């Protein structure tokens, strides 16, 4: 058992280090000149350090605007999906109504539909509403998701029935039981969903690319792609990697801040399934 654990730790360590290599290369490249980047053999440590790549990247494109757009869209989408998923999950787990199981199966069935299939009808809907190139198109379609509903339903299935019955005896209605009793216990599951939603929304490229036309509404992934395409001859990889390094910070900060709840939520969800 001891040798197996040591071997597993070695394999996991190697896997973790291999995943850190691209990140380390991005950071190193963001501090290099063009000559250093194209030098052979490749260099991992920049010499001299080109700190000016970061202010140049922010001057070359409206990086601050892209960053603000991504932060606003990701934050609102995350909060919205946590609210809608927790309410629907609690209803599917604890409330009894006609057609509940069939409706839940229909929600699960939507998880098997590739997201690309929904792009055209969603775009037509946003166009009908006049929401193209607005925050509405960037945020509203992401406020609902079957994955979050499924995760919260599984969590609330393990919610102690005695607590719910005690709250009802004290005069609480279903909404009060959900808000004051059930929801506070679901913090690990909510944190897990929040991390998944924030990172996926932050990294989303296809949908923001389709529904935005102006620099004022572009998110970071779309802006970085446009930044790369703006160089007709030679891509300024140092500046591009500097912009990429800046874009990684919020997603990394969210994961590090919620990793304790993230692990707890995954473990609890696997036990309560």
- Span 145-187, pLDDT tens digits: 899 999 899 889 888 888 888 888 888 888 888 888 889 888 8
Stretch 74-79: mean pLDDT, rounded?
Answer: 96
The count of C-alpha atoms lying within 13 angstroms of the C-alpha of 66, restricted to the half-sphere facing its C-beta, is 30
Number of other CB atoms surrounding residue 182 within 10 Å: 24
Q: pTM for the whole thing?
A: 0.85
Of the candidates 217, 227, 223, 221, which has an alpha carbon nearest to the alpha carbon of residue 126? 217
- Span 16-75, pLDDT tens digits: 888 888 888 888 888 888 888 888 887 788 888 888 889 988 888 888 899 999 999 999
pLDDT higher for 33 or 86?
A: 86
| Cα 157 from Cα 90, distance rounded (Å) | 8
- Span 186-195, pLDDT tens digits: 888 898 899 9
Domains and CATH numbers, the chain: 1-51 (no CATH), 53-272 (1.10.3720.10)
Cβ atoms 50, 39 nearer than 8 A: no
118 CB-near residues (< 8 Å, 6+ apart) = none
- Assess whether pLDDT exceeds 70 at residue 108: yes
């Amino acid at each position: 058992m001891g040798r197996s654990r040591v071997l597993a730790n070695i394999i996991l360590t190697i896997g973790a280090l291999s995943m850190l290599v691209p990140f380390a290369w991005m950071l190193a490249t963001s501090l290099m000149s063009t000559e250093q980047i194209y030098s052979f053999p490749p260099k991992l440590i920049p010499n001299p350090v080109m700190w000016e790549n970061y202010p140049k990247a922010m001057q070359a494109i409206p990086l601050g605007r892209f960053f603000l757009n991504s932060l606003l869209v990701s934050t609102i989408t995350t909060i919205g999906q946590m609210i809608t998923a927790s309410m629907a999950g609690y209803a599917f787990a604890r409330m009894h109504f006609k057609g509940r199981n069939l409706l839940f199966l229909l929600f699960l069935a939507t998880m098997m539909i590739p997201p690309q299939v929904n792009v055209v009808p969603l775009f037509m809907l946003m166009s009908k509403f006049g929401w193209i190139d607005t925050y509405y198109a960037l945020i509203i379609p992401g406020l609902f998701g079957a994955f979050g509903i499924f995760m919260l339903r599984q969590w609330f299935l393990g919610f102690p029935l005695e607590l719910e019955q005690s709250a009802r005896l004290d005069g609480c209605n279903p909404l009060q039981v959900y808000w004051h009793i059930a929801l506070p216990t679901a913090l690990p599951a909510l944190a897990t969903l929040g991390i998944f939603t924030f990172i996926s929304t932050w990294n989303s490229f296809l949908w923001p690319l389709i529904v935005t036309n102006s620099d004022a509404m572009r998110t970071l992934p779309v802006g970085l792609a446009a930044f790369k395409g703006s160089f007709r001859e030679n891509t300024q990889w140092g500046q591009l990697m500097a912009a990429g390094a800046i874009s990684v910070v919020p997603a990394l900060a969210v994961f590090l801040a919620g990793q304790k709840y993230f692990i707890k939520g995954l473990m609890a969800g696997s036990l309560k399934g």
